[in-house]
Amino acid sequence: MTANTEAPSREYIDGTTAIVRGAIDAGCTFFAGYPITPASGILMAMMREIPKVGGIAIQGEDEIASIGMCLGAAMSGSKAMTATSGPGISLYSESIGLAIMGEVPLVIVDVQRLGPATGGATTVAQGDVQFIRWGTAGGYPIIVLAPSSVPESYSFTVKAFELAERFRCPVFVLTDKELAMTLSAVDVDDSTVAHGTERPEKHEGLPYSWEPADAVEPMRRYGDGDAFRFTGSTHDEGAYITKNAAKVGALNEHLIAKIEAHRDEIEMVDTDLDPKADTIVVSYGVTAGAARAAVARLRTEGVVVSNLVVQSLWPIPETALLDAFDGVQRIVVPELNMGLYGREIERIAAGREVVGVNRIDGGLITIDEIMEAVR
């Protein structure tokens, strides 16, 4: 037996652990959630871990209470996170709108499971990709990051907190049963990149400003400085309810502009392009695993093909996609739904052939299925 000191230091963890570590390293001090497979692991770990950094974790009486507590805590100065699966996202719906309207930083983890309603609790799917985009009234922009591995589950959670603070808005981490619960070997270094950016804060004055439209006002916190207000109703800069058309328009345009005008700070893709390829595989989340493996195998067989993994699902990284589609005729989009993101690709790729590889039976899309679609 010889000690191999050259060997990298590895551990064996799942995406749940990576998300919890990412949150705490990012400075999360408040968590509230309601048990639901496959997201319960995050709740249980948070209940155990967050008190160690002096934070608070609580099991709410339901999902509405959980996200409500997060919003309250965030306004008292905490960096907050909640985690659930499809049925719980349904109950978050109205409160997601409140977070958007009140400009509250909040990280929401959606660990996807299969199907409508109760569906398949221990079964993988990617059916929430449009649901969380349009999950609340009004149709305002939302930020969604989709990790495709355990190390990304860590780093994208950290990133989600950064974006939530930067733009004062809810940010989703979209994962799924397999990514959250599959154990994998990871380099220890990959999961210990402590960040934890400070929240931009101010200590007095109006809680909001939208001049210019894309500017994000630093946050106030209750108990710090003078009194200030918060409301979920259409409001002016002081959070007083208003129907003044100029004010109402300015507020709503601000909610859009602060994200749309800064897409370059949010959009993320992982590209592996071959300039000679006329076919590209576009995937995200857990399906990116099979896509990467299929592309690697096809190349060993001499097939010329490109690969792109979308990491910020929303806003859609249109510029990067269009660049990648240059010279491409066919786009293969594997996803664990019947083409929910494929339709966005079709829109962006207008004129090119878009081939879906789809599955909604609880199995993962296989390497072979993607290879076949490329060939």
Within 29-88, which residues bind other proteins (CB under 8 A)? 29-30, 32, 37, 45, 49, 51-54, 56, 58, 60-62, 64-78, 80
Considering only 225, 322, 347, 372, the residue that binds other proteins (CB under 8 A) is 225
Which C-beta is closer to other proteins: that of 73 or that of 259?
73
Residue 2 CB neighbour total at 10 angstroms: 4
Could you tell me if 55 and 23 are in contact, meaning their C-beta atoms sit under 8 angstroms apart? no
Could you tell me if 74 and 106 are in contact, meaning their C-beta atoms sit under 8 angstroms apart? yes
CA quadruple 190, 109, 100, 268: dihedral positive or negative?
positive
> Taking the complex as a whole, how short is the minimal distance between the CB of residue 212 and other proteins, in angstroms?
26
> Taking the complex as a whole, how short is the minimal distance between the CB of residue 350 and other proteins, in angstroms?
30
How many residues bind other proteins, per CB under 8 A? 90
> Taking the complex as a whole, how short is the minimal distance between the CB of residue 246 and other proteins, in angstroms?
20
125 binds other proteins (CB under 8 A): no
Burial class (CB in 10 A: 0-12, 13-18, 19+), 206: middle
228 binds other proteins (CB under 8 A): yes
Q: Which region, judged by CB under 8 A, interacts with other proteins, from 132-140, 159-167, 176-184, 315-323?
A: 176-184
CA quadruple 72, 73, 78, 81: dihedral positive or negative?
negative
Span 146-175, contacts to other proteins by CB under 8 A = 148-149
Which C-beta is closer to other proteins: that of 98 or that of 354?
98
Q: Taking the C-alpha atoms of 256, 262, 267 and 272 in order, what is their torsion angle to the nearest 10 degrees?
A: 140
Which C-beta is closer to other proteins: that of 297 or that of 352?
297
197 binds other proteins (CB under 8 A): no
Which C-beta is closer to other proteins: that of 28 or that of 328?
28
> Taking the complex as a whole, how short is the minimal distance between the CB of residue 325 and other proteins, in angstroms?
23
Considering only 169, 286, 321, 333, the residue that binds other proteins (CB under 8 A) is 286
Q: How many Cα neighbours within 13 Å face the side chain of 186?
A: 21
**Bond into 38 cis (ω within 30):** yes
300 binds other proteins (CB under 8 A): no
**CA–CA separation, 32 and 21 (whole Å):** 16
Tokens of 295: 């592309």
Which C-beta is closer to other proteins: that of 191 or that of 257?
191
**CA–CA separation, 150 and 163 (whole Å):** 20
178 binds other proteins (CB under 8 A): yes
**CA–CA separation, 365 and 306 (whole Å):** 18
8-state DSSP, 219: B
161 Rama sector, left if φ>0, alpha if ψ -120 to 50, beta otherwise: alpha
> Taking the complex as a whole, how short is the minimal distance between the CB of residue 208 and other proteins, in angstroms?
13
**CA–CA separation, 375 and 370 (whole Å):** 9
Which C-beta is closer to other proteins: that of 290 or that of 324?
290
Which C-beta is closer to other proteins: that of 10 or that of 347?
10
Span 81-120, contacts to other proteins by CB under 8 A = 94-95, 98
Span 330-369, contacts to other proteins by CB under 8 A = 363-368
